[in-house]
Structure 1
Amino acid sequence: MSWINRVRNALPFAAPKRDTPDNLWIKCPSCGEMLFTKEYEDNQSVCPRCDHHGRIGADARLAQLMDPGFVLLPAPKVKEDPLKFRDTKKYVDRIKGARAANPHPDALTNAVGRIEGKKAVVGVQEFAFMGGSMGMAVGNAFIAGTERAIREKCPYIAVTAAGGARMQEGILSLMQMPRSTVAISRLHAAGLPYIVVLTDPTTGGVTASYAMLGDIQIAEPGALIGFAGQRVIQDTIREKLPEGFQRAEYLHAHGMIDMVVHRHSLRATLAETIDYLMAAKAA
């Protein structure tokens, strides 16, 4: 026991030390304001001071977007560590660590249900799972989601959040780019919409494939969206890039995405979009 605790215990008028939860407060990564965690979560993880849209997990995202009663789809099984990859640690150990820290077996989780009464299959990427990286499990989950949408005769909505392809799977991860493109083509052949919600961050091979192939491209405010990083591009073209050129607002202003929608309005916007696109299909 330290001397300060001994002194405290010896003083009858000293108030006893009380333990407080470690997660009572959260610091906004944008403005630095300290916020009550409950207040922050009740506001859909949007800072009430500066309106920064924080990163959220797949379960929270599905709960925000879908009506109660949605059903999670089983994750497809894939061969793990097909290349026997190792860097500073084994790939299988990285997967085990990611699974221990996350509720789902890989970075893309599908659910079937309704959005304000409109049937939809929604696939959400979990950035906390190895940076939302796209490997065989993500590719197979994406394809499974589109196939379920075809069977249900409803749209497939992809909510992207990724650092790109999963380097530990090498060329096998890059193969998920054309595979997902073919899956989207099959969805279109069935006359069904494909909608993308771009969240922070969406980069690399995910941006170069299914993230930018939506019939409608919706982004959250301030989301980082791009292929290569700003520094890499500047070093390559040897020119200074505009401020915020990879942010949602800049991309919207230059015609690369269709809408920038606040998280509070995202569910209603998706329901309206589904209604419009499915009505066009019926016509």
Structure 2
Amino acid sequence: MSESRETATHPAVEPVVAQRGSSRFAAGEGPLPDPAGSHYERRIRSFQPRRSRVTTSQAEALLKRWPDWGLDIDGKRVLDLDEMFGGLPVVLEIGFGMGEATAQMAAADRGTGILAVDVHTPGQGNLLGLADRNGLENVRVANGDAIILLREMLDPGALDGCRVYFPDPWPKKRHHKRRLIQPDFLTLLASRMKPGAVLHCATDWEEYAEQMLEVLTAHPGFENTQADGGYAPRPAFRPLTRFEGQGLDKGHVVHDLLFHRK
């Protein structure tokens, strides 16, 4: 859609800084800063909401598409994924950044629904804008804590796959407990995945890759797709992202891990 038609549909929106604890959007019109509020226990989180600027185009995409394609993770309802995605198989993506790779994968496979979770408002707006411009009706954007989504809002066996690309490595040893790929997380995730569904992780942090491989190999709910029990080649469906390209330019080695749900 052209800039002029977008402006005609929605009032002009000035760039703003999205901050934790505040929101420019009314309930239902855009992502809320803390959708689960105090409904659930305090615990160590694997993510840290970032303060950053929401551009005019991102804000316009949020105002236009959030009511239909966005949802806040409030933990108060169980999602009907069949209704949400028109019966498509659904893959959960945890942490999509600015959404470019998500949009590419959605365009290349319109027969799969992608439930994309993040807490970064500019990224949410960017992905919704990409989905809108490219007619990607198989994308939904979820705002908030993926743990609450999995535990409170998805039925057992609801997911046909899960993608965790370049999660925060929390490199300092005292922060390793914040890493997402841990035994308890895998147990919860396994309960929400269909048998045979694939968990696909990727990281350019060598030590985290080793931990992922060790934890996944030891978990009774997952089985490595690689006969040698090691890392997998990057599958063609995972795009080479700008972030990944920058890492490769610096000499980083990217590891992909693909495990089946037993």
| TM value normalised by structure 1 | 0.30
| TM value normalised by structure 2 | 0.32
**Larger relative contact order (CA 8 Å, sep ≥ 6):** 2
Q: Whose Rg is larger?
A: 1
Higher normalized helix content (fraction of residues): 1
